[in-house]
Amino acid sequence: MATKRRPTVEGAAMIGSEPKRDAQPPSAPGPDLLAVRLGPLEPRGGHAFARLGATRSDLPIMGEMLTRERAVARQWAVDREAEPVSSRLAADGRRQLLVVPDWAALVAAADVTAVGFFGQLRRGVDHAILFDLEATLADTFASFATLGLLSYYDLGAEHGRFGNLVLFSRPDGPELWHTNPAHREAVAIAPAHYESIRLHRGVVPGRFTGAAKLVVERTSYLDFRGQRPWRAVRVYQEESGGDRQVRKHK
């Protein structure tokens, strides 16, 4: 009997460690944490990770993730004997993990909701628990596929930065994902492992297997370096009349 071939992505190795320093992380942010509202082009002094240049640096990485994932999805569409499994390879020096619980759903998806996470890791901290939690999260993906989860893609962006791209078939998918106990645990320990976080939310218009670029609608920022977390939200285009309005980033 022929062995099923697994769709693969050219990928990566673990992010390297950095010089140690002492860190006293604040507690995880609560629901009463107020967010500063930023305009599309508003600079932000005092929080370098929230500046436009830093924010825009994530966009080509998310675009690269989308391109790689589309290539794997098209490969599966040709070879439907491929198994819906995760791929973790080391080819270009970056750590990588792609998990797709239902390839057929991903290939057929349209107007996909996307969430991009980029965290600036604390130095001198053992981050092994993050990868343990990632494995725990992967075990829950099949059950959350019925709630719109299409894929989870983690690609080491650069030294000291950790990022992933999560895709959903429905706009409320991210809110439903927040009910995942493993995800809630990851949120709770985030201040101990990250100095700051950028969280992008947007849409991939049209068919997923098409050529449209990911369009970011808003970016949330979390800064854990102070005694109290600082939070801000940058909105690129308001939602109006119940319809999703987006602003393209070139």
pLDDT tens readout for residues 180-224? 888 888 888 888 888 999 999 999 999 999 999 999 999 999 998
Q: What is the distance between the alpha carbons of residues 3 and 1, in angstroms, rounded to a whole number?
A: 6
pLDDT in tens, 134-153: 777 777 888 888 889 999 99
Structural domain includes residue 218: yes
Q: What is the CATH number of the domain that holds 150?
A: 3.30.70.100
Q: Which domain does 164 fall in, by range?
A: 35-235
Structural domain includes residue 22: no
User: Taking the model in full, what pTM does it have?
Assistant: 0.77
Structural domain includes residue 133: yes
Q: What is the distance between the alpha carbons of residues 95 and 15, in angstroms, rounded to a whole number?
A: 6
Phi, psi of 66 (to 5 degrees): -60, -45
Q: What is the CA radius of gyration of the chain?
A: 18
Confidence of residue 44 (pLDDT cuts 50, 70, 90): confident
Half-sphere exposure of 99 (CA within 13 A, CB side): 18
Indicate the number of domains in the chain: 1
Structural domain includes residue 172: yes
The residue type of 210 is: G
Q: Strand, coil or helix: what is 40?
A: coil
Structural domain includes residue 202: yes
Q: How much is the pLDDT for 140?
A: 81
| Contact criterion met (CB below 8 Å) for 11 and 90 | yes
Percent of the chain with pLDDT over 70: 72
Structural domain includes residue 167: yes
Q: What is the distance between the alpha carbons of residues 15 and 156, in angstroms, rounded to a whole number?
A: 6
